[in-house]
């Protein structure tokens, strides 16, 4: 059951584990771009870019649409937000731990000690 529920997160984290795919997401976070605009700064063939794009689309992080001969790509904010939520949720817990540790370390010593 866990497997089924976590698949979108698996795919999103996997997609973001590659520096070229992260570069594409960075570019798209600044606005939509055509495939050739995405490819321009990357040290790879257009066909390699298309492969990376496929991974990003399958992960739900990017969608694209074709108008005439130009395919334009957009960032899917919701999939990115899902990744963010997972991190932030974990952070909530580990920050609570730090707060407890800090409270413990800064509490005055019990009367009779120190």
Does residue number 107 form part of the binding site for a copy of itself (CB under 8 A)?
Answer: no
Sheet of 33-34: strand order equals 33-34, 70-75, 62-67
Q: How far is the CB of 110 from a copy of itself (least distance, A)?
A: 24
Burial 31-43 (b: 16+ CB within 10 A, else e): eebebeebbeebe
Contacts with a copy of itself by CB under 8 A lie at: 2-3, 6, 9-11, 13-14, 16-19, 22-23, 25-26, 29-31, 75, 77, 80-81, 83-84, 86-88, 90-91, 93-94, 97-98
């Amino acid at each position: 059951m866990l497997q089924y529920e976590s698949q979108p997160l698996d795919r999103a984290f996997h997609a973001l584990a590659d520096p070229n795919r992260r570069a594409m997401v960075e570019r798209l976070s600044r606005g939509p771009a055509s495939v050739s605009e995405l490819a321009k700064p990357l040290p790879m063939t257009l066909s390699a870019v298309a492969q990376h794009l496929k991974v990003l689309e399958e992960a739900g992080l990017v969608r694209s649409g074709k108008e005439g001969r130009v395919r334009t790509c957009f960032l899917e904010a919701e999939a990115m937000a899902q990744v963010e939520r997972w991190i932030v949720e974990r952070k909530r817990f580990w920050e609570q731990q730090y707060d407890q540790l800090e409270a413990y370390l800064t509490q005055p010593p019990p009367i009779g000690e120190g």
